[in-house]
Amino acid sequence: MITIGQLAKYVGVSIKTIRVYHDKGLLPEPDRDVSGYRRYDAKDAIDLIKIRTLAEAGVPLARIRDLRSATGEEFQQALREIDDELTASIRGLQATQVRLRELAAGHLAPLPTEVGAHLEHLARWGFTPRWVDLQRDLWILVFATYPDRAITLFHDQAETLANPALRQLFLDYDQAHDLDADDPRIDGLARRIVKATREHYGPDELPELDAASEIPALIQGTVNASSPAWRRLDTLIRAQLEA
Amino acid sequence: MITIGQLAKYVGVSIKTIRVYHDKGLLPEPDRDVSGYRRYDAKDAIDLIKIRTLAEAGVPLARIRDLRSATGEEFQQALREIDDELTASIRGLQATQVRLRELAAGHLAPLPTEVGAHLEHLARWGFTPRWVDLQRDLWILVFATYPDRAITLFHDQAETLANPALRQLFLDYDQAHDLDADDPRIDGLARRIVKATREHYGPDELPELDAASEIPALIQGTVNASSPAWRRLDTLIRAQLEA
DNA sequence: ACTTGACCTTTCCCCTGGGGCAGGGTTGCA
DNA sequence: TGCAACCCTGCCCCAGGGGAAAGGTCAAGT
């Protein structure tokens, strides 16, 4: 009949852990000797080893406790479930490891240099610093979120801005920030943007809308929050494109 | 400038999680709007994504917080360490899975039938119930701990007990339980046991001693605790074998 | 016989990584 | 003007223990 300390050392857990298991009903309290010390036998040791095997598999203590009163068949079934969960969490960790390595491999780099160059272009084309900052935030987010497709999206956007007529639309969008929400010029701008969008993508497919739902609504939220006029512009454009 | 709820949804965490990260200093508290709501920008979003990547790798929040002030080189070094730890914990889970499957495969079966038969033999040979119980505990433990080697050890032991002269030594060990610790018969028994051991294994290798250090000290502890005479016997045998 | 150190007992609060609730204020939309 | 859906802070809860306090017990050495 060994003491709690010997049992703990043998199984490789702390004394505290064994007492916690008693408190939570995982391991029955053994008899005490004359001085009130707990005294354990070999059965307790193998019970404890089983409990630890399950606990190390991530099974919550309450579930291990319930398993104590399970039949053989229920127990086997539970073990299969636990095994599956274990497999899933191993897969999860492996996926995390992949992401960790992507992080290490430099996807923390703020932005490709060509994007930085493009942002400087914007200022020279007459966009406000506010707009440039917004664009920087947008591309950081897009590159963080869709590292593989971001550069394509970026080239597409850069090409659009190389066209002076289209660029003017964006300049007008930028300027609209400070208009009153009910300024009639907003309606005109919305119509022109919708028209250009339809010409660019055809009447059937509107990839920009799809892209916009993937490219974080975060940015549109930012845009809308900072100006009532922009909010109205967004509402008008969406309504006309969906019509 | 988005709200906490939008940020949470975007990154895929709970609002609570973000607030916890503020409290723990992982993510700086952003500015508040006029109504006291936190307002976030894209930088916060990518910071949060980085934090989540590390947190999902099992990195404690305190360590992630410290990483915030690390240089690029320190950060890369930390990532390598985290990667290694992740590999180790995946290995650990896989090992747990193996043990879980052993458990499911029936290593919970108390004891092979031939061991049960052997224990009944012991009683008929004149061993006390106390000795038989001790042997049962021992074999339960050995089969739980070394499932692959236990049956070999058991056959070895059964063979030894089939020899009447050697069996008498164990019977004498059993009987010695109730002697006084300073009874001279204990010294005689110790000498006979040491002699038999040397004859059985030769003078150079003493596999029983090695096995005894692997086969849980738990049992020897139990043995020693239950009788001063047995304790003395153990001490004498060890001293003479090591000499 | 006494001390010493290692062990044991109980109770209590601490930690991490959040979840959930209470009780209140704010915003947007009809 | 109402209502749902936000947001705020503060609080307690969970698992799975760690560690400290304050005391009882045991074996060894002197």
Give the dihedral of Cα atoms A158, A164, A165, A171; nearest 10 deg.
70
Cβ count near B152 (within 10 Å): 10
Per-residue model confidence as pLDDT tens for chain A (243 residues): 788 888 888 788 888 888 888 888 888 888 888 888 888 888 888 888 888 888 888 888 888 888 877 777 888 888 888 888 888 888 888 888 888 888 787 655 557 889 889 999 999 999 998 888 888 877 876 776 666 777 888 898 899 899 999 999 999 999 988 888 888 898 999 899 888 888 877 655 544 444 444 455 556 666 666 677 888 888 888 777 765
Which of A86, A93, A137 lies closest to B41 in CB terms? A137
Give me the pLDDT at residue B212, please: 46
In angstroms, the separation between the Cα of residue A33 and the nearest Cα of chain B is: 12
Q: Which nucleotides of C are covered by protein (CB under 7 A)?
A: 7-11, 16-20, 25-27
Which of B83, B97, B225 lies closest to A86 in CB terms? B97
Cβ count near B32 (within 10 Å): 10
Q: Is the pLDDT assigned to residue B127 strictly greater than 90? A: yes
DSSP string, B126-185: T--HHHHHHHHHHHHHHHHH-TTTHHHHHHHHHHHHHSHHHHHHHHHHHHHTTS-TT-HH
Protein CA A50 to sugar C1' D25 (Å) = 31
Question: What are the CA-CA distances from residue A189 to residues A167, A172, A201, A237 (Å)?
Answer: 13, 7, 18, 9
Strand C contacts (Cβ < 7 A) comprise: A 3-6, 15, 19, 36-38; B 14, 16-17, 20, 24, 33-37, 55, 60-62
Choose which CATH entry (3.30.930.10, 1.10.1660.10, 1.10.3720.10, 1.10.260.30) describes domain A1-69.
Answer: 1.10.1660.10
In whole angstroms, give the CA distance from residue B53 to residue A100: 7
User: Is A226 close to B1, i.e. CB distance below 8 A?
Assistant: yes
Give me the pLDDT at residue B147, please: 66
Task: Mean pLDDT check: name the lowest of A21-25, A33-37, B109-113, B157-161.
Answer: B109-113
- The token pair that represents B188 in the structure block: 């005689």
Give me the pLDDT at residue B134, please: 81
